[in-house]
Structure 1
Amino acid sequence: MHSAVRSLALACSLLTIAVADSFAETADVIYHGGDVVTIDDRNPTAEAVAIKDGKIIAVGKKADVLKLKGENTKIIDLDGKTLLPGFVDGHGHCMYVGVQAASANLLAPPDHTVKDIADLQAELKKWAAGATAKKFQLILGFGYDDAQLKEQRHPTRHELDEVSQDLPVLIIHQSSHLAAMNTKALELAGITADTKNPPGGVIRREKDGKTPDGVLEETAFMMAAVKVLPKMGEAELDSLGVAGQRLYAANGYTFAQEGRSNAVLDKTWMRLAEGKKMLIDVASYPDLTFSDTPFGIDTPWYSKAMKNGYRIAGVKLSFDGSPQGKTAFLSQPYFIPPHGQQSNFRGYPTVPAEEVNRKVALCYEKGWQFLAHCNGDAAGDMMIGAVKDARAKLGKGKDRRDVMIHCQTVREDQLDAMQEYGLFPSMFGMHCFYWGDWHRDSVLGAERAERISPARSALRRGMIFSQHHDAPVALPSAIRILASVVTRRTRSGDILGAGQCIDVNAALKSLTLWAAYQHYEEANRGSIEVGKLADFVVLDKNPHRVPISELEDLKVLETIKEGKAIYNAR
């Protein structure tokens, strides 16, 4: 049995000790009248659940649980709906979801309506007429995807100049690894024909090989965005944090991740937590890329215990870019190389190997959990090699749960190494829906595309993993993840790698209990068991009782955090 599975089993056993005593209590709320999917292998379904003071005090037969009914107990009839544990974010960026909500929506169907560059321009012009653009003197869009545009390319600066020549226009690619700017924005960023590519980034050029065409990759985009984006005050930042939480809650999440934070973001979360304005729980991972002492890691907020719904949980490292943006670092060339690259182009690392080794060793020295962004398998080699070296020099460490984020092209031999070193995979399985066709036809070719996000391969080894949305790269939809990893159906209707499909039970665990384990939270959340937080999501139907082709149609009706409804669609 995998060590993670043993740890989960032990935690579950300890929790059951409290069951007998729980019936001496009087419940605040009792849920009944629907399917209760517990994600507890010892007790997978139940008829009723009782909670008190925000925690679960009984799970079982309706007749038994109703014995906890008191004079003031609220009895809630689920009316045939399904109660599950609240979803736990394997990887996402909660604050940036708020930014997405405040930007022009450039997503393609089915999430929005942008199908070509003309649609994109129209959305930007419409947003430019609003109060936000006028207040900040900026036109900001999020979510365009060259893979989904009719033109199959990025918009140029000239096309964005058609939106505005007076205001800067910045549109962020759905991967969040690239962006496009108009001429005004490039001027504000100080990017000219003489500007060299920064380490770990690319400024794409026009046919003359010198003039920027408006598209910026990786660090080039990040450095430019800092100069173009407006400075916001505390009230504005707080509103983004609240907006991000609300969208997470509307999708059934009770635990979110700030998967690559900085001082501005963490100060905002601290302020919201201190002001008791947290709707859900948020675990933050400050970026270790540019500093050995990222903000907040030396404060009491760095803890395994939540404080008013927030904590700093570890640090984030990024080793490469985006496969759909063709900046991920692969061991084999891209099927069709991106604009301006040769046929042997494999992408590139965002940091050199020696720095990867040094940063990982630092995490072992300090005892920090780290998340490592590895989309390409060559980036995965860098992470695995750095962990091997750190362990040889510094020892295994106690209960380390270091996470490979995305694992898009992770190989079978790499999964063997990850299992050996206890590295936790957090997979981006919904890529099969959003970019599966693009991976097959342009990024990887059919053979390699069949294996993206190889969850079944991990299960065959007895490994557990989380599945994530990487919001705002995709909407924070656990339902879309569930449908994608069970069916592996693409936008076109193709099934991409049927051999890597997983069943509904494993998929739900990857969105709840296994994701909780990733965050050292398995004793607090992830399943409906006595002693855990009363964090629930109510769905219109039971995922186990619908055809897998209908999983994508499931609806989140209500989200409950510690016994209190924080979202209600009914």
Structure 2
Amino acid sequence: MKNLYKKSKMALLVMVMLGAFSCKEQQEVEQNYTLFHGGTILTVDEAFSEVEAMVIKDQKIVAVGSFENLNNEYGQSAKLIDLEGRTMLPGFIDAHSHAVSGALANNLMDYIGMSRFKTTEEVLEYLRQKVKETPEGDWITGRNWDPAVQDGPEELTTSILDSISTQHPIFILNASGHLAYANSRAFEASGIDSTVENPDGAEFVKDSQGNLNGVMKNMLSFIQVMTANPKMQTYDPVPALLELLDEWSAEGVTTSSEFALGAATNSPADLEIMLEAAKNEAFHVRLRAYPSYIINDQWNEIGLKNNTGNDLAKVVGFKLVADGSNQGFTGLQRETYCCSASHMTSFGNEYTSVDDLYSYAKERTEQGFQLAIHGNGDKAIDNILAVLQRLKDEGYEFEGLRPRIEHASILHDDQIRKMKELGVTPSFLIGHVYYWGTFMRDEVFGKEKVQLLDRCASVEKVNMPFSLHSDFMVTNTLPLEMIETAVTRRTWKEPDYQLAPQEAISVESAIKAVTAHAAWQLMSEDEIGSLEVGKYADMVILEEDPRKVEPTNISEIKVLETWFNGKKVYQLEEN
């Protein structure tokens, strides 16, 4: 009997202890709740709902609704954060960027673009100073030079760069990312001379005597020079990528992308770099990657699978390229370029033939990859649509694969109808309007055709989702600037000029284009893009509501905080 009593007491003690431990554990879990209130919370759900409060736990959103209801349910076990009248949105998403390759260029190349130097002569003077400071034989490299907006010569030829130095290899990347320039020493260091053969769809431009003139069109050509830089061998890519992503966090970005995976190292090592970076606690921006066709055979050799990776960083599609850059006169057009004497007989460049584009597209569609096909000129977009129509006629379905046209710069009404019919959506590089709008009007397309640039309102009218993107490094990753440009259609060189004002969209639509619709295009709408229950707690807190300021001031709104996976990863320092 005593033993039974002792056993009963022991059992009761164990139960009490377990109960106490369970209560303590439950209390600790409940304290992981965080309740945001006291400001404007825009969920960017289907109805663009505005709610009073939101609750997160660990990495996910667990509730949205009225402050009274959520406070009653979670208030006693939650940390309350008063937004103090500020505005919360889903974290911004850059639907087309170059994070891995951009980190390399950002780390190894000096920025010599429009926001630093207004003229090419200023750029050349800067390079002359670099020569004086750089040991003989070391490379001098620059990025984002742009003759479309930096007054001076149209090209940086070998003769111009040789006048800077013949003792230093010099390599300059055009802002478009589709052109590059080198001096004779850089070609020599790369083992390239006038006998070099042009890769398919690319060109080492030569003069009338057959000598290299320094201009290279398409990455397939200039990557051979860029990768000859010895710093490419000692470059540590993971810290550089993490540093770049931190810069984007300060702009409210919680998801970005890599649309030429393989271009940084000219190998599948880019995928390893991205996945390795994602293991680091300092990885605060999700990445969605699109392997590039330029190393298609290498991807096949490693047996690349779609969705390789995880919710932090993964492959979600495959990147193809139909043409080049309109402002670089390599975008493929239905008609010749209109205004610049040196280009009035040119239709641009077909980077990938229709037959090759079809072969790549068929192969990757059969493997379940989303297709993301670069097309700037209207003829290039014709080619893309012809390829997709052929695949559809052969029985391939796109509904679940959501093919995209990247940039989709010039769209005619018939192309918009065809896109709608095929289930194809555009992602617009809206910086084409802001930075190059007047150049497109005066030098590239003329006043009539330029009205077809970045037709946001027209595709919205047919209920076609679209996104806005930076195409970093073509433009910087500034989501609020992208929203402002889509709303105002103002241009950098002529601030009072509106390019195609009929294509302006509402602030709400522009916000969707850098949140919910961008997530959908990146095959990630179940995880991110809106503040809804079950999605990751990726948010940005702004000083003001973009809907309630003057449209021309949207880009000036301060990003106060950025939250990623339920943790604050950026806070604006107070002066």
TM-score, with length taken from structure 2: 0.87
From 96, 104, 107, the equivalent of 1:99 is 104
1:557 maps to 2:563? no
1:12 maps to what in 2? none
Return the offset for 1:99: 2.8
Quick one: which amino acid aligns to residue 47 of structure 1? E
From 69, 73, 81, the equivalent of 2:78 is 73
Aligned partners of 1:337 and 1:345 also within 8 Å: no
Provide structure 2 residue ranges, at least 5 long, that are not aligned to the other structure: 1-28, 263-267
Aligned partners of 2:120 and 2:153 also within 8 Å: no
Aligned partners of 1:326 and 1:338 also within 8 Å: no
Quick one: which amino acid aligns to residue 457 of structure 1? S
1:546 maps to 2:552? no
Quick one: which amino acid aligns to residue 36 of structure 2? Y
Q: Distance in 2 between the 1:135 and 1:476 partners?
A: 35
From 98, 106, 120, the equivalent of 2:123 is 120
SS in 2 for 1:425: strand
SS in 2 for 1:255: strand
Does the C-alpha gap of structure 1 residues 257 and 242 become closer, same or farther in structure 2, counting only changes over 3 Å? Answer: same
1:57-115 CA distances to partner (integer Å, 9 max, x unpaired)?
Answer: 1222222222354566332222332111001121111123323432211121xxx2211
2:217 maps to what in 1? 217
1:273-352 alignment runs, 5 A limit: 273-275=278-280, 278-292=283-297, 294=299, 298=303, 302-303=306-307, 307=310, 309-337=312-340, 339=342, 341=343, 343-352=344-353
Quick one: which amino acid aligns to residue 282 of structure 1? L
Q: Distance in 1 between the 2:178 and 2:187 partners?
A: 17
Farther off after superposition, 262-271 or 495-504: 262-271
SS in 1 for 2:293: coil
Aligned partners of 1:479 and 1:552 also within 8 Å: yes
1:366-394 CA distances to partner (integer Å, 9 max, x unpaired)?
Answer: 22111101111111111111111112223
1:537 maps to 2:543? no
Q: Distance in 1 between the 2:399 and 2:46 partners?
A: 27
1:73-472 alignment runs, 5 A limit: 73-102=78-107, 103-108=109-114, 112-124=115-127, 137-195=138-196, 197-206=198-207, 208-218=208-218, 219-228=220-229, 230-233=231-234, 236-262=236-262, 263-275=268-280, 278-292=283-297, 294=299, 298=303, 302-303=306-307, 307=310, 309-337=312-340, 339=342, 341=343, 343-397=344-398, 399-472=400-473
Q: Distance in 2 between the 1:315 and 1:448 partners?
A: 30
SS in 2 for 1:508: helix
Return the offset for 1:125: 5.1
From 514, 517, 520, the equivalent of 1:514 is 517
Q: Give the RMSD, CA atoms, in angstroms.
A: 2.5
Aligned partners of 2:399 and 2:423 also within 8 Å: no
1:12-27 alignment runs, 5 A limit: none
Quick one: which amino acid aligns to residue 317 of structure 2? G
Q: Distance in 2 between the 1:73 and 1:568 partners?
A: 21
Quick one: which amino acid aligns to residue 556 of structure 2? D
Aligned partners of 2:398 and 2:422 also within 8 Å: no
SS in 2 for 1:294: helix
TM-score, with length taken from structure 1: 0.88
1:4 maps to what in 2? none
Return the offset for 1:347: 0.6
SS in 1 for 2:156: coil
From 23, 40, 43, the equivalent of 1:38 is 43
Q: Distance in 1 between the 2:140 and 2:69 partners?
A: 59
- The alignment of Structure 1 onto Structure 2 pairs a total of residues equal to 536
Q: Distance in 2 between the 1:178 and 1:551 partners?
A: 32
Aligned partners of 2:30 and 2:77 also within 8 Å: no
Does the C-alpha gap of structure 1 residues 417 and 43 become closer, same or farther in structure 2, counting only changes over 3 Å? Answer: closer
Does the C-alpha gap of structure 1 residues 270 and 295 become closer, same or farther in structure 2, counting only changes over 3 Å? Answer: farther
Return the offset for 1:138: 1.6
Aligned partners of 2:53 and 2:66 also within 8 Å: yes
Q: Distance in 1 between the 2:161 and 2:565 partners?
A: 46
Q: Distance in 1 between the 2:371 and 2:230 partners?
A: 28
Aligned partners of 1:538 and 1:558 also within 8 Å: yes
Identical residues among aligned pairs (%):
27
SS in 1 for 2:227: helix
Does the C-alpha gap of structure 1 residues 162 and 80 become closer, same or farther in structure 2, counting only changes over 3 Å? Answer: farther
SS in 2 for 1:481: helix
Greater C-alpha Rg:
2
Quick one: which amino acid aligns to residue 535 of structure 2? K
Q: Distance in 2 between the 1:393 and 1:60 partners?
A: 48
Q: Distance in 1 between the 2:271 and 2:282 partners?
A: 14
Q: Distance in 2 between the 1:74 and 1:135 partners?
A: 59
Provide structure 1 residue ranges, at least 5 long, that are not aligned to the other structure: 1-23
Q: Distance in 1 between the 2:326 and 2:385 partners?
A: 19
Does the C-alpha gap of structure 1 residues 367 and 292 become closer, same or farther in structure 2, counting only changes over 3 Å? Answer: farther
SS in 2 for 1:137: coil
Return the offset for 1:270: 2.1
Aligned partners of 1:204 and 1:216 also within 8 Å: yes
1:13 maps to what in 2? none
Q: Distance in 1 between the 2:170 and 2:158 partners?
A: 9
Aligned partners of 1:177 and 1:221 also within 8 Å: no
Does the C-alpha gap of structure 1 residues 134 and 524 become closer, same or farther in structure 2, counting only changes over 3 Å? Answer: farther
